[in-house]
Amino acid sequence: MLSLLQQMARRGGIMSDEGLARYEQMKKRYEEEHSIKCPHCGYDYTEDIDFLQDLITYHGEDGPVKRECGECSKEFYVQEIVDRTYEVGKGISVEGEIHE
Ligand SMILES: [Zn+2]
């Protein structure tokens, strides 16, 4: 998904208004789905290791987890959604990249 967005962004200069609007919509959705922000004050916890530490599970099986925002002291809930992807190939390069 991200690499598709990056490819589309690179072509941004020649994209139609409709294409650009669609790209912006996809980018917004991607960012929303891949970030954890307090719904009350917007504080961004996405890269807060302490916040994420006991949130990450194997299957997201813990259900919605209640959190108190360190910024505004209000409570909110976080549901982890696990979506793993895999890459399969016959070999591996010196850089550790898998290839067909
Ligand atoms: Zn907050």
Any domain includes 7:
yes
Any domain includes 59:
yes
Written as tens digits, the pLDDT of the chain (100 aa) is 556 666 766 665 667 788 888 888 998 888 888 899 999 999 999 999 888 887 877 777 778 889 999 999 999 999 988 888 898 999 999 888 998 8
DSSP 8-state secondary structure symbol assigned to residue 98: E
Range of the domain at 27: 1-34
**Looking at the structure, do residues 58 and 76 belong to the same domain, yes or no?**
yes
How many angstroms does the Cα of residue 51 sit away from the middle of ligand 1? 13
Q: Specify the 3-state DSSP secondary structure of 99.
A: strand
Any domain includes 51:
yes
**Looking at the structure, do residues 42 and 13 belong to the same domain, yes or no?**
no
What's the total number of domains in the chain? 2
How many angstroms does the Cα of residue 52 sit away from the middle of ligand 1? 16
Any domain includes 60:
yes
